[in-house]
Amino acid sequence: MTSPVQLIRPRRFGDARGWFTETYNRDAFAAIGIDCAFVQDNHSLSVPAFTLRGLHFQTPPAGQDKLVRCIRGRIFDVAVDLRRGSPTYGQWVGAELSAENGDQLFIPIGFAHGFVTLEPDCEVTYKCSGLYAPANDGGIAWDSVGIDWPIPAGVTPELSEKDKVQPALSDFDSPFDYDGRPLAPLA
């Protein structure tokens, strides 16, 4: 049984010109247990270093699986288990995603997603399995989960007004159900 959150390392084929990689292939992803149809692509630019976006999700029936990658710069990307009844509820996993390493993080429905930029001018793209639904837009406070964010001491992350007022995890009543797959460390 695979972990619901997966770190994906697409293979790069390089030569004197640079490299080529396949970032998504429906059949290859289905073979590793990721069997969703993506319907929306998002792209963000964060100019200041230590911009923090998250922790976000969409509630049922408009949940979104996400496939996240950093195409410029470096980010620390996280997923937090929000599935009620899960033995790993409230736990998180994270990985550095960068333009250089090409790694991607798959975050299924039932998990909050967020990231912090580790340098200026970071661009992040992600595929979503559901369309944006403002009535189902949700979040929890970035500092209420115990995430070990790689933010230097004394630095306050750049936050949106929305992210400054998200509820703490302890005040969150989850609408997500546990599917029998506990969160596992990223490989």
pTM, two decimals, is 0.96
Cβ atoms within 10 Å, residue 82: 24
Q: How many residues does the chain have?
A: 187
* 78 alpha carbon, distance to own chain's centre: 5
User: What residues pair up with 75 in beta bridges, in sequence order?
Assistant: 97, 117
What does the alpha-carbon distance between residue 100 and residue 127 come to, in Å, rounded to a whole number?
Answer: 19
Share of the chain above pLDDT 70, in %: 99
- Among the listed residues 43, 56, 89, 132, the single catalytic one is 56
The tens digit of pLDDT for each residue in 62-98 reads 999 999 999 999 999 999 999 999 999 999 999 999 9
Scan for tokens 């084929």, then name that residue. Answer: 13
| Rounded to 5°, angle at Cα 39 from 142 and 185 | 45
Share of the chain above pLDDT 90, in %: 98
Report how far apart, in Å, the C-alpha atoms of 94 and of each of 2, 27, 46, 143, 187 are.
16, 25, 19, 14, 11
**What's the mean per-residue pLDDT of the chain?**
97
Element (H, E) at 140: none
- Among the listed residues 24, 43, 89, 126, the single catalytic one is 126
Annotation says 56 is catalytic? yes
DSSP 8-state symbol, 5 = S
User: Six-digit token pair at 70?
Assistant: 């950093």
What does the alpha-carbon distance between residue 68 and residue 55 come to, in Å, rounded to a whole number?
Answer: 14
The domain segmentation of the chain, as residue ranges, is 6-169
Q: The domain 6-169: what is its CATH number?
A: 2.60.120.10
What does the alpha-carbon distance between residue 135 and residue 61 come to, in Å, rounded to a whole number?
Answer: 10
The tens digit of pLDDT for each residue in 16-68 reads 999 999 999 999 999 999 999 999 999 999 999 999 999 999 999 999 999 99
What does the alpha-carbon distance between residue 87 and residue 178 come to, in Å, rounded to a whole number?
Answer: 9
The tens digit of pLDDT for each residue in 158-176 reads 999 999 999 999 999 999 9
Annotation says 89 is catalytic? no
